[in-house]
Amino acid sequence: MKRVGKPVFFIVALLILFLTYSATFGIKGKNGDNSTTYIKGVSDIRWGIDINGGVEATFSPATSKKATKEQIDSAKSIIEVRLTTNHITDYELYSDYNNDRIIVRFPWKNDEKTFDPESAIKELSATAMLTFRAGDEYTTVTTGSDGQPVYKTPKGETASNIILTGSDIKSAKSEMYQDQTTGKATYQVGLELTESGTKKFAEATEKMQGEIISIWMDDVRISNPRVNEVITDGKCSIQGNFTAAEASSLANKITAGALPFKLTTTNFSTISPTLGSSSLHAMLIAGIIAFAIICVFMLVQFRLPGFIAIIALLGQIALSFAAVSGYFPFIQSFTLTLPGIAGIILSIGMGVDANIITACRIKEELWAGKTLDGAIQKGDDNSFWAIFDGNITVVIVGVILMAVFGPTNILSMLFGASTTGSIYSFGYTLLIGIVGNFLFGVTATRLMTKSISGFKFARNKWLYGGAAE
């Protein structure tokens, strides 16, 4: 067996424990009077309607003119984009063409305290309109919740000279490109304009080379790029040393502002949860008790490999919650429904199974007369494909559930948006859990086992299930 350095056990274990702590509690700080979240934890998870309840809102065009079916569909599509870009998958969205209405149901925010439906629907920015304006003149500057300045209310030429509106934007997406100066990979926002937008933008960029065209959502500036060249083909990019998260956020804001008309909220109400927070609390207690029982079983039955398996399981659980809370900057927060919790539980069960298979194989090799190093290596080799075959089939199922039951697909028409969103949540958490199983239950477990076996106190075969020495 190829030995793994002794410090590896402690390094891997400490990294897993840090992930577990930070993914559970998050890391927050104070910037003056403002609270800043550096790393999101479990408290930042947005729970689904079935657990936390939510809001029902009805949107209508802010005009007396009859809207066309195409306009209603366009507005509905933009609202759906706003929901999905915020990873709100547990929603229902309907169109009423006869009465010019769009009806949406979605869960409360994770930190909701007032449970005011009128305030909650502002998260969708239903009345926000996107504009590209000449110059970068503003009236006031305030400080946002993240401590960064927020520029509000255009003035002067910026207020009067509107170059493009949201309806002129065909698409906006985050893109990676290589900086020609530094050679480093960085991010930008790629824009594609409509036919009318292309013509207007070509005229503006020809006149404003070297000047700023600022981008506003209602009266809040969201970007202020400078024109570097004349753009005549309707395709351009916004560059500014963006991170992946910043580029994605800006692209989402631009896309979300492309409404064909302003919307007003004509009706809103609250939705009661089918389970409620008390059920969530009960599930939490049950989960802690179940995990404690699993830990005792693994320690008694498998001794040292069982102890290592417990550490690996903590990492897998932490990764599952980190993937839905917004812990990673490149993965936004995700609506966690009851089926989503079921996906996490199922994947944890498969993680336990993977560790048991490996521990049993090592134990069998020891009783067959192998040396400790030989038993660990042979046990790892013999168990890998059994674990791989069992997990890869679940990966395929998870991918299919996400692809087929995603927020927008043909099955949404057959089963309804709420059903597909719930199934999508199950597929997502199941897939993340299996990825965590390979990362922690297979890779991390084996590194820690080979590493700790190099210590003299851990060379006794009894610790691995063999005969006492």
- pLDDT per residue as tens digits for the range 25-84: 988 877 666 677 788 888 888 787 777 788 888 888 877 778 877 778 777 767 776 676
407 pLDDT tier (thresholds 50, 70, 90): low
Reply yes or no on whether the pLDDT at 434 is more than 80. Answer: yes
pLDDT value of position 406: 66
CATH code of the domain in which 172 resides: 3.30.1360.200
Torsion region of 273: left, alpha or beta (phi above 0 gives left; psi -120 to 50 gives alpha): beta
Give me 346's structure tokens.
């199922």
Q: Is the dihedral of CA 151, 155, 161, 165 positive or negative?
A: positive
Asked which of 83-92, 239-248, 350-359, 430-439 is least confident by mean pLDDT, the reply is 83-92
Q: Can you tell me the distance from the alpha carbon of 195 to that of 256, in angstroms, rounded to the nearest whole number?
A: 19
Structure tokens at 13: 């274990």
47 occurs within a structural domain: no
Give the helix/strand (H/E) hosting 319: helix 277-325
What pLDDT is recorded for position 354? Answer: 93
Instruction: Decide if 49 is inside a domain.
Output: no
Residue 249 one-letter amino acid: S
**DSSP 8-class letter at 467:** -
Of the residues 207, 240, 271, which one is the last residue of a structural domain? 271
Examine the fold and report which residue of 271, 300, 321 is the final residue of a domain before the chain moves on.
Answer: 271
Query: What pLDDT is attached to residue 147?
Result: 64
Claim to verify: residue 155 and residue 115 sit in the same structural domain: no
Pairing of strands 54-61, 101-107: antiparallel
When pLDDT is cut at 50, 70 and 90, the band that residue 277 belongs to is low
For 375, residues 6+ apart whose C-beta sits below 8 A from its C-beta are: 362, 365, 366, 368, 461, 464, 466
Q: Give dist(CA 21, CA 159) in Å, integer.
A: 48
**Dihedral in degrees, nearest 10, Cα atoms 359, 361, 362, 366:** 140
As a whole number, mean pLDDT of residues 346-353 equals: 92
Task: Give the model's confidence band at 413: pLDDT under 50 very low, under 70 low, under 90 confident, else very high.
Answer: low
Predicted local distance difference test score (pLDDT) of residue 229: 87
- Residue 382 sits in the same domain as residue 454: yes
Confidence label for 298 from pLDDT (cuts 50, 70 and 90): very high
- By percentage, how much of the chain surpasses pLDDT 70? 83
Q: Give the strand order in the sheet containing 149-154.
A: 138-143, 149-154, 220-223, 213-217, 130-134, 162-165
- Residue 82: predicted pLDDT: 67
pTM above 0.85, yes or no: no
For the chain, percent of residues with pLDDT exceeding 90: 35
Contact 118, 268 (CB under 8 A): yes
Supply 252's token pair: 């989402």
pLDDT-wise least confident of 86-90, 295-299, 329-333, 413-417: 413-417
- Domain end: 221, 248, 271, which one? 271
**Residues 191 and 239 occupy one common structural domain:** yes
* pLDDT tens by residue, 106-149: 887 766 666 667 666 766 654 557 789 999 999 988 876 556 78
Question: Does 235 lie in the same domain as 91?
Answer: no
Q: Of 166, 187, 168, 172, which Cα lies nearest the Cα of 236? A: 172
Q: Are residues 282 and 152 in the same domain?
A: no
Q: Quote the tokens at residue 459.
A: 């060379």
Considering the chain, what is the average pLDDT of its residues? 83
Same domain for 118 and 142, yes or no, is no
Q: Rounded to 5 degrees, what are φ and ψ at 210? A: 85, -5
Residues 388 and 452 in one domain: yes
Distance set, CA 435 to CA 238, 240, 432 (Å): 34, 33, 5
pLDDT, tens digit, 9 for 90 and up, residues 212-233: 999 887 778 888 888 888 888 9
Cβ atoms of residues 149 and 129 within 8 Å: no
Closest residue by Cα to residue 409 from 396, 394, 419, 398: 419
Residue 387 and residue 405: Cα distance in Å, rounded?
27
On whether residue 45 sits in a domain, the answer given is no
Domain for residue 39, yes or no? no
Residue-wise burial string across 426-456, b where 16 or more C-beta atoms lie within 10 A, e elsewhere: bbbbbbbbbbbbbebbbebbbbbbbbbbbee
Q: How many domains, the chain? A: 3
**What Å distances lie between residue 420 and 239, 276, 416, 447, CA to CA?**
36, 21, 6, 39
| pLDDT exceeds 60 at position 408 | no
Distance of CA 468 to the CA centre of its chain: 48
- The pLDDT value given to residue 20: 95
Greater confidence, 111 or 285? 285
User: Does 353 share its domain with 410?
Assistant: yes
Return the CATH number at 96. Answer: 3.30.70.3400
What pLDDT is attached to residue 421?
Answer: 65
In a domain, 399, yes or no: yes
At residue 445, the pLDDT reads 95
**pLDDT recorded at residue 89:** 67
Residue 138 CA, distance from chain mean position: 33
Within this chain, do residues 229 and 90 fall inside the same structural domain, yes or no? no
Q: What local confidence, expressed as pLDDT, does residue 419 receive? A: 59
Other beta carbons less than 10 A from residue 223's beta carbon: 20
Does 133 lie in the same domain as 92?
A: no
pLDDT at res. 38: 82
Q: State how far the Cα of 445 lies from the Cα of 449, in Å rounded to an integer.
A: 6
- DSSP letter at 437 equals I
Q: Which helix (H) or strand (E) holds 171?
A: strand 169-178
- Whether the pLDDT of residue 442 is over 70: the answer is yes
Q: Which domain holds residue 88?
A: 54-128+259-271
DSSP 123: G
Question: Contact 311/305 with Cβ under 8 angstroms?
Answer: no
Output the CA angle 222-248-157, nearest 5 degrees. 20
pLDDT at 300: 94
Q: What are the φ and ψ backbone dihedral angles of 404, each rounded to 5 degrees? A: -85, -35
Residues 417-434 have a mean pLDDT of 80
If asked whether residues 186 and 115 sit together in one domain, one would say no
Lowest pLDDT segment from 16-25, 124-133, 341-350: 124-133
Instruction: Evaluate if residue 362 carries a pLDDT over 90.
Output: yes
Domain presence at residue 253: yes
Structure confidence at residue 137 (pLDDT): 92
In a domain, 40, yes or no: no
Same domain, 109 and 240: no
* CATH of residue 362: 1.20.1640.10
Of 126-130, 189-193, 381-385, the poorest mean pLDDT is in: 126-130
From the CB of residue 244, how many other CB atoms can be counted at a distance below 10 Å? 15
Q: What is the mean pLDDT of residues 158-186?
A: 81
Domain for residue 37, yes or no? no
Return d(Cα 256, Cα 75) in angstroms, integer. Answer: 10
